[in-house]
Amino acid sequence: MRLIVFVCDIHYGHCLLCACASMKRQYVPLTLFSLQRMVDLGRIDISQPIDISAICNTKVVVVDPTQNHYGINLTDEVCIMNGIECSF
């Protein structure tokens, strides 16, 4: 396996690095505030488990596998005020 990568690296040079960078897994960011808003607006049924299909069915978050989207990154909204990190 390493020999194949080495040979491809010789023939393609930097193109191999570009291809690897474009194939990096990406996760669509979703804040807790946005998730709560979807629940409050009735876009997500809280009587059912909240999974990636329930979030994608809201049409607010789009997970596109052709763009190397492998899932959702659930984050907290964070602000920095006077050099101090604070959450909402």
Q: Note the pTM of the prediction, 2 decimals.
A: 0.62
Q: Which amino acid is at 2?
A: R
- pLDDT for position 6: 38
- pLDDT for position 19: 53
- pLDDT for position 25: 86
**Which residue shows structure tokens 């899932």?**
71
The parent domain of residue 61 ranges over: 25-87
81 φ, ψ (degrees, to nearest 5) = -120, 120
Q: Is residue 43 part of a domain?
A: yes
Q: Is residue 36 part of a domain?
A: yes
Q: Is residue 58 part of a domain?
A: yes
Domain count, the chain: 1
- In degrees, to the nearest 5, what angle opens at C-alpha 87 toward C-alphas 83 and 88? 130
Distances (CA, A) of 79 to 37, 84, 88: 19, 8, 8
Q: Is residue 61 part of a domain?
A: yes
Q: Is residue 18 part of a domain?
A: no
Q: Is residue 34 part of a domain?
A: yes
Q: Is residue 51 part of a domain?
A: yes
Q: Tell me, what DSSP letter sits at residue 41?
A: T
Q: Is residue 80 part of a domain?
A: yes
pLDDT means over runs of 10, the chain (88 residues): 40 50 81 93 94 92 89 80 60
